[in-house]
Structure 1
Amino acid sequence: MSRASTLRTTALWSAFAAVHVWIAVAGWMFPSQPMGDVVLVYEPWSSAALSGGPVVGITETWVYPQLALVPMLIAKMLSTPLIAVLDASQAYLVAWAVLVTVLDAIAFAVLLGRRPVPQRRVAGWFWTAALLMLGPIAMYRIDAITVPVAVLGGLWLVGRPALAAVLLTVGAWIKIWPGALLLAAVVAVRSRMRVLLTATAVTAGIILVLWALGADSEIFGFLTEQTGRGLQIEAVAATPFLWLAVSGAARIEYSFDILTFQISAPGADAVSAVLTPLMVVLVLIVAAIGGLKAMRGASFARLFPPLALTLVAALIVVNKVGSPQFQTWLIAPVILWFVWDRARANVPAVVVLALCALTCLVYPLNYDALLRAEVLPVVMLTARNLLLIVALVVGLRAVVRVPAHRSSSPRE
């Protein structure tokens, strides 16, 4: 590696590390407790599981897939030595930040490789910038665990498809969204049967282990738990109702059952009820379009990145929940887009960076004002939600425009 290349790589690693330190610290400094879920929810869940209490996903129905508990337990064990100098909550926060940083660093190292090529360095800078703009919410949620898992899975889809399928399946059993990348892989990659069979085997193994541990109806509780949710205030579909709240014609109410703020207004429940079926239909349509492209010979490098981004964007746009950490889901497809098809990744990258910045402005920086239905944060959230639709359209347009031809290499 030349001296110039070494300096560029060192600068990139330094920026990546510095951003992680900053967002870790910002979680303690920013308003609205962006690290709150970690200490108020994750730590009690892991403590209860380790102390003989209820085990979420096993002895009681849980909002997350069961493997989400694993990183929470790891963070709890990592926090034990820190309790000598910090209280339990602070120790858990530090351990969580360290865990996320280590996982990100592993995926970042694989992304760059020993001799980083330009497109991988650009992908690294994009990842760094996205974390900086999104802020502490990019670290202090369970979604942060799945981003490096999804990046690794995407990077290995061509060379190590079985391992990639394992990672993406495990990621989906932590937080559902990596399943969108798995679906895109089954559609776009040539070794789709190996990917599909591996994912099926891993899922069967997880279900068998959960059943052996005592889970029964709780195994798929993370799916049924979503059906009772109302329309969260940050969801794309909630945007018109938020403007009604500004005028006093709708209310923002807190749900103690699922610990989130929801819209209360005529028609809100009807909109909420239709969103999940609409999401399923949209995902199937996008996958079908991708499938037609694949059948006509579209290359993996051209088809997979936009298909992955479109499927992930569909999960966000047509969702009754609009949590700020959902923006982390969009980071992995764009990183992979830079790696596989650098020339066409710029527009989606700019859109996702803007989404990250707007999301941070809304939460945590102006969230209290949003809960009061003040105009400025509602304008910012409206812009964010419109940009999510733009991301969906940009991805879908790219999928439609993928040329259909037979290629001799997955990178063609």
Structure 2
Amino acid sequence: MKILLQTTLLVFSALTLAAQRPWLKVERPPFKEAPSFITAGGALYALADGLAITYRHGESWMQIDSIRSHPKALTEFINGSTVCFTQEPGSSVVHTFYSISGTNFSESDSLDLNTHHVVGAGWSGNTVYIATAEGVLYSWGTTIDSLIVPAVQGATVRQALISNELFCLMTTAGLFVSTDTATSWALKNPPSKLDGLDISTDVALYQGALLASTDQGVFVYDAKSGEWSAKGLWQAEAAAGRVLAIAAEPPYIVALRPTPSGRVQMYRLEHADSTWIPTAYEVPMPHPAVYASACSIDAGWVVAYFSDETTPDSTGVYAYNLNDMSDVQVQDSKSDIQLKTTKTGLQVSTPINQQGMVTVHALNGAEVLRAMLSPGFTDITLPDHLRGPLGVYIRTDSGQEVRSLILW
């Protein structure tokens, strides 16, 4: 028993020391321009002066030759399809391409936008929308229609988010939100110490909720109340401050923040009631430029493009595996979920009216088991070859989450 206890302590001590790992520099998409990243259909796309796709989190990019140069927006659509919009520099014509496989795109339509320039796209219901920098939305449904957003006129739209729950336009005049499919809009700026415009640097959707990065941390918007609230708590040594970019994919939210020395540190939020946790070493360049559109989460991997004029050789695409459970400190959950080991595997206790899912990961991030949780107690049998340290992630249908390291 004493030897087992010492072994357990040594394993967890080693895991704690290994809690921070470096970013991995991965392959850059085959383009001259700096890319922006979008996840769709189980793949990661890079948009620049061409379109490329990867299924390996930033490695092995494949250029999609059927797409004309300068894709401006890309979005998932119904039945797992993907829609891409291209617009040549100086041209008013937008070409629409459609794909079922994600790699073979066929042109399906074109539209003259007059003097408007595409900045984003998304879908709601059975309609695809594209947003322009000039504050005009175009919709593809049974007909092609244009929707002028009066509140935005005179401002420049920099980013657009479109979903079934809400529409958001991030502009030089602030954040405009619509919860009635772009019929009416309201200025909904998150809290900030800055006066005037450009108080938000990035926006993202997380499980239907709107997130915004500001000079005071990350905020989440409640569409019902129309109010903002802080998302997560910051440790004393990392008090709420400027956030350069955010990315979200359940169960992860990450934020990129500048350090006092001018470098960039990544933080992640483990679950709804947790504190932002510093994750990974600082980005490996002295003064990295962060591009909000070039930071995405792809199946648990953060993929981001950074550049630094002082060290051009370090400029490129970097990846970090959030699934690697050696990052996760052993923690007690404040939720109603209980986890313990048994002779044959695991026992998970959830509230009697809640179902859920449990996934088990090896320390290199590989998923080794996935099982459904029944209300109450669920016994999960693990094969003997998995004995040792494992990462466990539990999520109930109500959104409660637990991430923990175990020694089995």
TM over 0.5: no
The TM tier, using the shorter chain, reads under 0.3
Q: TM-score, length-normalised on structure 1?
A: 0.23
Point out which structure has higher relative CO (alpha carbons under 8 A, 6+ apart).
1
Higher Cα radius of gyration: 2
Q: Higher strand fraction: Structure 1 or Structure 2? A: 2
- Greater helix share, 1 or 2? 1
